[in-house]
Amino acid sequence: MTGPPSTSALDLAADMLGPLASPNASLAPFCTYRVGGPARLLVEARSVGDLDLVHRAVTASGCQTLVVGKGSNLLVADAGFPGIAVHLGPGFEQIDIDHGRSLVTAGGAALLPVVARRTAAAGLTGFEWAVGVPGSIGGAVRMNAGGHGSDMAAALTRVSVFDLVEGGPVDWTVDQLGLGYRRSNIGPGHIVVSADLALEPGDTERSNAEIAEIVRWRRSHQPGGQNAGSVFANPPGDSAGRLIDSLGLKGFRIGTAEVSTKHANFVQADPDGSADDIHALIREVRLRVAAASGIELSVENRLIGFETEEGTQ
């Protein structure tokens, strides 16, 4: 990340965006941690036309951009984000089902649990796993989200992507996405407008039973409250939660952030807590695991605005 934009650049972007942009808007309501600082400008895009206006403002001003989905994997520093944050609005929540081809087209802002339940009700199978992931289709494509033996890569056939720097939208194939374990080629300035999912004919009663079991399992094994799911990716052949738990770190706290007492790979934020406390806790847990086991855990959470040894994220 480069340095903050100049006041004149931000003023230019604000003038071009007009009422579409809210100045100094808190990003906490858009993150499941419910903490974090403001964006200098926050845009809720409700159409591709709105995204095109953001593209033109970014091109003219050179301001940085931050794509904010449902924030279920995002942590923004208390200092905030010094550029333009973009959030997809209701215009991108559509879910269209082609029963004849067992094909689903879901907007980038469509919630995964909603898509899971809608497809099950339509007699399609293959997306039940997503009921337990509190994110959006766009975020799920970006990190190839998954669980319960499946992931996005198992169903994706096409993705429409808007590039805030180059413009768009442009269709990407699965090969172009480069999907891997919790990764893709979707970059920081890319917005997933929609995605096509190829599912299979199924049995609604059986799918609903599977969904109910996934919900039960999640409630039994994972905490609720203010968190962003698994903090660290599992290292090959092991579990991040097991490694953290083996060091007795459940309940370990720094300020307003605590390692969950229910699942060691979750970090809980206190109400009105601090994003910087969460970041400090993540860093300390990672250091302790590395010191004890030699394993460098990879952080799954997307960290924005924090100082690291390499610079600012």
What angle, 0 to 180 degrees and rounded to 10, lies between the N-to-C axes of helices 7-17 and 48-61? 150
Exactly one of 230, 258, 286, 302 is catalytic; name it.
Answer: 230
CA-based nearest residue to 245, from 255, 256, 232, 227: 232
Question: What is the chain's percent helix, strand, coil content, to nearest 5?
Answer: 35, 30, 35
List the alpha helices (DSSP H) in 80-178: 112-121, 137-142, 174-177
Looking at 72-215, which runs of residues are DSSP E strands? 74-76, 81-88, 95-98, 103-107, 124-125, 146-147, 150-151, 156-163, 167-173, 190-198, 200-201
118 is catalytic: no
Exactly one of 56, 118, 158, 182 is catalytic; name it.
Answer: 182
Asked if 27 and 42 count as a contact pair (C-beta separation under 8 A), the reply is yes
Exactly one of 184, 286, 300, 302 is catalytic; name it.
Answer: 300
What angle, 0 to 180 degrees and rounded to 10, lies between the N-to-C axes of helices 112-121 and 204-221? 150
300 is catalytic: yes
**Per the structure block, which two tokens stand in for 258?**
């605590």
182 is catalytic: yes
CA-based nearest residue to 153, from 173, 139, 138, 174: 174
Q: Is the dihedral of CA 236, 139, 229, 3 positive or negative?
A: positive
Give the active site residues. Answer: 182, 230, 300
